[in-house]
Amino acid sequence: MRRLILTAALFAAAPAMAQTRMTGAEFEAYSTGKTVFFSSNGTPYGAEQYLPDRRVIWSFLDGICITGEWYEAGDQICFIYENQNNGPQCWSFFRTDGGISAQFENDPDARSLIELQQSPEPLFCPGPGVGA
């Protein structure tokens, strides 16, 4: 976690990076088989594991994970998660000099995320109440 915080601070201090919008095919090629850790405003935000067939597992890094899937809708990547009744969450993903960034499109004034790091390892998802 300390490494994530340091990396987030470095990205927050970095000048704006060149960005290229990703298509669904580019996003799929980049993300499949990886777990990508994201920051928002220089603070670790969460991580998503990208599985084959556009399936995903999301975590706010609290040990609780939710599964879902993504699809391309125009120039956006939209996610639907299990047990979520708030509809699709659509993002624009961009290639940057340091990886990828994402802008939440359901609310353009909302957060944007920056890739902190990636790993081939799966997310740690022990779930709620473990050890209680």
For the stretch 78-117, pLDDT in tens is: 999 998 888 999 999 999 998 999 999 988 788 799 999 9
Range of the domain at 39: 2-11+19-114
In a domain, 27, yes or no: yes
In a domain, 32, yes or no: yes
In a domain, 119, yes or no: no
In a domain, 123, yes or no: no
Number of structural domains (the chain) is 1
In a domain, 130, yes or no: no
Higher pLDDT, 74 or 108: 74
Higher pLDDT, 16 or 129: 129
pTM for the whole structure: 0.81
CB-based contact 50:35 (threshold 8 Å): yes
Cα separation, 96 vs 36, in Å, equals: 14
CA 2, 50, 85, 102 dihedral sign is positive
Q: Where are the alpha helices (DSSP H) in the chain?
A: 2-13, 24-31
Length of the chain measured in residues? 132
Cα separation, 10 vs 14, in Å, equals: 6
Q: Which two tokens stand for residue 96?
A: 């940057």
In a domain, 80, yes or no: yes
In a domain, 124, yes or no: no
In a domain, 47, yes or no: yes
